[in-house]
Amino acid sequence: MSGSFRTAAVIGAGTIGLSWTALFAGHGLTVAVSDPRPDLADAVAEALARFAPHLTALGLDVDGLADRVHIASDVTGAVRDADIVQENGPESVEFKKELFATLVRTAPRHALLLSSSSAIPATAFTEEIEDAGRILIGHPFNPPHQMPLVEVVPGERTSQDAVQRAVDFYTFLGRTPVVVHKEIPGFVGNRLQYVVAREATYLVQQGVVGPEDVDKVLRNSLGIRWATVGLFLGQHLGGGPGGYRHIVTHIGKSMDEMVTAGEPSQDPECEERVIRAVEKAYGSSPSTELGELRDRRQLAVLTALKQVSEQGSRTGEEKD
């Protein structure tokens, strides 16, 4: 598999792009990075140094990591020899239209053109591009060098070959690609996250609970369950012998009577109260220590799940 993916171009070196850069290089790819930011070289060097321990914890060899990453003077130089292009620019249809038109003209014809777009479907910015068959969404969860999920979302003219190559590429990177079969703004992960976030905001606005306790609830219940079995399997198991059918026909009906999703106020004063409550709990700007704590916890969860999966594979119990 690695023979098919030797070189990558990362367009846009913000939080997502720098994380992709480290992951690509950690898997042995030669990576060219392009971004107009004046501190690009320093930002890349700092990110590689910061992420190297994470890659090591995930079992990757980081020897020579920085030697595999190069700074490109512009987009054309970055993609000239690329097998894979991962775009991480602004969430703007017009920006992506112009950029991907350039990528189609300048990248090798075999290059797969992927966008990290969080909400904009590929069809929205490829309608006027003639060679759109190799363009699709590869949406990660932040940071992609840690979080396994990548949503693979083809546009209306994306070829099946491109979809399969994208799945193969992200699998090679140790990610968990999920093909989204129908374009929808926000895709799947962000839409689910948005619903939970709306309800959490409503509960804080109503004075039911504070931001810290919402996070405690999620960390100590749903977060653990969803990290291990997901939503539908969790409900299926929770239904006992009757499984998911029992949940829907019995418990689900009682929950429908008890719970109505809240509608958080859009009033600026209400929004400001929630913002202040979060800042009171965690500081006006997230500290380095909080980020490092997040990374340690995420890596601990991923390591534990990997160990359980490997043990199950040896005994023939794990199928996921």
- The catalytic residue positions are 151
Q: What's phi and psi for 143, nearest 5 deg?
A: -90, 135
d(C-alpha 165, C-alpha 156), whole Å? 17
Chain Cα centroid distance, residue 46: 21
Read off the tokens for 193: 């996250």
d(C-alpha 233, C-alpha 222), whole Å? 13
What is the CB neighbour count within 10 angstroms for residue 159?
14
Question: In Å, what is the CA distance from 313 to each residue of 13, 68, 320?
Answer: 37, 33, 9
Read off the tokens for 151: 């949503």
Strands (E), 92-216: 112-115, 135-140, 149-154, 176-179
d(C-alpha 10, C-alpha 265), whole Å? 39
Read off the tokens for 191: 């839409």
Q: Where do we find the tokens 């006992």?
A: 240
Q: If 0-12 CB within 10 Å is exposed, 13-18 middle and 19+ buried, where does residue 85 land?
A: buried
> Does residue 117 sit in helix, strand or coil?
coil
d(C-alpha 33, C-alpha 77), whole Å? 9
d(C-alpha 69, C-alpha 111), whole Å? 18
d(C-alpha 150, C-alpha 133), whole Å? 19
